[in-house]
Structures are given as C-alpha cells and as structure tokens.
C-alpha cells in the first residue's frame, strides 16, 4: 500500500508523521520504525510519530525512536502535532494527556508534572535524584528527572567541550538506568538562560530535545541555579520553559511543516 506522511521539525529535531486516523495502517513493527527513520535508506528522521484515535483525548500520539523502541514523550513532536492540528488540542501520550496550543509559528505545551522519585525515573536502586552520587569520566553528580521519559542532567562549565558522541551512549546504557536514559549536558549562563546539548536515548545526538529542555530547566530550578522561567538554547534554537507554582512545566517554541510525501509500505516492512 502507499502511505502518506508529513515531515515536521521542532528546532531541527525532525519527525515523519503518519496519520492512522486518516487511513488504515499496518501494525508498526520495530523493523518498520528502524527502516523509515534511517537517513541512509529511509525517509530519515529523529523520531517516527504515529497519530491514532483516542478514547480520552482529541488524538493519541505514539513515538518511536530510530532504534525501533516506542517511548512515552517527545516535547518537540508534541509542538509539531499541535501545529498540524491547527487549534488547541489534548494529546494522549504514553506519559499522560498533554494540552497543547499552536501560535506564533510554533506551540505551547503543558508537559505536566515532573517526577523525581528514584523508582519513577526509573533507577535500578534508591538514591538522591537531585545530586546523584555517581559519575562517568568527567561527568558526575547529575540530577535525574522524569518528564514522561527519563533524563539525567549534568551541569558543567562548558557543555560544548563534552564529547557527547563518546560518553552519551555509555551513560544511556548504564545498568543504573533500567529503561536507559536521555543524557543532557548543560551550562547555566544566567538565572534565566541555559545552554544545552542532548544525547537522546535510542536516537543519539539531535539538534534539540524538548523533554531534555524541560528536564534540564526543572533540574536547574531545583538546584536554585536559575529562576522558574528560563530560555534553553539548543543547537537548533531556543525554547522557553516555565515551571509554574502549580508544579506543571510549560514549554513554548517553534515548529514547522517541512513537506508532505508518500512511500510504499512494503519497501520498509
Ligand atoms: N526528541 C524528543 C525526545 C524523543 C524521545 C527520547 N529519545 C526518549 O527515548 O525518551 C523531545 O523533543 O523530547
């Protein structure tokens, strides 16, 4: 069968979006997710996004990493889906129901409440998640946060100096993180500004990670390194993150539709 897709971007973090509400699609297998996201032989993207009907929200968003694994949250894709939807929308995700609203060339998303308990990250055994007594080479003492997906955040003087391609996969796959982890290296430049690079679980280095920006902002706020409203600058651009008094994280930033196309399903099955 021929399937239609939309290529979307959120700060250079790019997605192939399939709408299973518009057409009956075959089951998404690990092999299909790997093939379609592969930049050498597939259409290529950082995450495959599949939209489905939902019983509890306006739509359900499923998220697949290039390693084929399905995960609970993707901040940049949530903004992209809000833009595609065109008006305020409730989106069911593996991490909960998110409210999103398009506007100003992007969208604002209520990403919900962060979780800090060791077994909610999850970690393999109990420890203080605010200042974890662990380290890998020059990176140590991270903060762990779950924002629908697991993140470890390292605050360091210069995040550009880290060889993320080398150390990222080592931390991602450490047995301390039974569901693996997204690795964030961050530099606080001011009480309202953070620079951030991310090694994404199941994807590698991306130009931006929305949940990474949320997790990093909340970690910085918990450590009293910043105020409750910050700009997070990623290689792909800026996100505004607010951690409200209601304990909810709100993320605002750009999203764009790149192009539409179609492919033969059997070529990737
Ligand atoms: N790019 C995303 C995060 C995608 C999922 C992540 N790699 C995971 O495995 O949790 C974002 O913008 O948040």
Residues 26 and 82 in one domain: yes
Spacing, Cα 77 to ligand 1 middle (Å): 9
Q: Quote the CA–CA distance of 143 and 5 in Å, as a whole number.
A: 37
Whether ipTM exceeds 0.95: yes
* CATH code where residue 193 lies: 3.10.310.10
Q: Any known ligand binding at 47?
A: yes
- Please tell me whether the overall predicted TM-score, pTM, comes out greater than 0.95 for this model: yes
Q: Is residue 113 part of a domain?
A: no
Spacing, Cα 257 to ligand 1 middle (Å): 19
Residues 10 and 76 in one domain: yes
Look at ligand 1, atom 10, and give the residue with the nearest C-alpha. Answer: 149
Residues 259 and 243 in one domain: no
Instruction: Write out residues in the chain with pLDDT < 70, as ranges.
Output: none
Residue 151 CA, closest ligand 1 atom number: 10
pLDDT recorded at residue 79: 98
Spacing, Cα 201 to ligand 1 middle (Å): 7
pLDDT digits (tens, 9 = 90+) for 22-69: 889 999 999 999 999 999 988 999 999 999 999 999 999 999 999 999
Per the structure, the complete domain to which residue 62 belongs is given by 2-108+255-267
Is residue 104 left, alpha or beta, with left meaning phi > 0 and alpha meaning psi from -120 to 50? Answer: left
Look at ligand 1, atom 5, and give the residue with the nearest C-alpha. Answer: 74
Place of tokens 């990737």: 268
Q: Any known ligand binding at 65?
A: yes
Active site residues: 74, 209
Q: Quote the CA–CA distance of 141 and 130 in Å, as a whole number.
A: 9
Q: Quote the CA–CA distance of 204 and 44 in Å, as a whole number.
A: 14
């Amino acid at each position: 069968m021929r399937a239609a897709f939309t290529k979307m971007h959120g700060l250079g973090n790019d997605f192939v979006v399939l709408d299973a509400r518009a057409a009956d699609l075959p089951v998404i297998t690990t092999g299909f997710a790997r093939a379609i996201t592969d930049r050498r032989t597939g259409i290529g993207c950082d995450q495959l996004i599949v939209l489905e009907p939902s019983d509890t929200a306006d739509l359900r968003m499923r998220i697949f990493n290039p390693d084929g694994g399905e995960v609970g949250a993707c901040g940049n894709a949530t903004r992209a889906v809000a833009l595609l939807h065109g008006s305020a929308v409730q989106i069911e995700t593996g991490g909960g129901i998110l409210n999103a609203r398009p506007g100003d060339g992007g969208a604002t998303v209520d990403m919900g409440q962060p979780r800090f308990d060791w077994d909610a990250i999850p970690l393999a055994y109990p420890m203080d998640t605010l200042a974890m007594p662990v380290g890998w080479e020059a990176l140590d003492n991270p903060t762990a946060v779950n924002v629908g997906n697991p993140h470890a955040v390292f605050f360091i003087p210069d995040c550009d100096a880290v060889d993320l391609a080398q150390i990222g996969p080592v931390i991602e796959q450490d047995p301390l993180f039974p569901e693996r982890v997204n690795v964030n290296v961050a530099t606080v430049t001011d009480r309202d500004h953070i620079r951030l690079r991310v090694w994404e679980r199941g994807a590698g280095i991306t130009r931006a990670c929305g949940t990474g920006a949320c997790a990093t902002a909340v970690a910085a706020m918990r450590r009293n390194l910043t105020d409750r409203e910050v700009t997070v600058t990623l290689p792909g651009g800026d996100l505004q993150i607010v951690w409200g008094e209601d304990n909810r994280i709100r993320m605002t930033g750009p999203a764009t539709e790149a192009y539409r196309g179609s492919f033969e399903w059997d070529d990737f099955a």
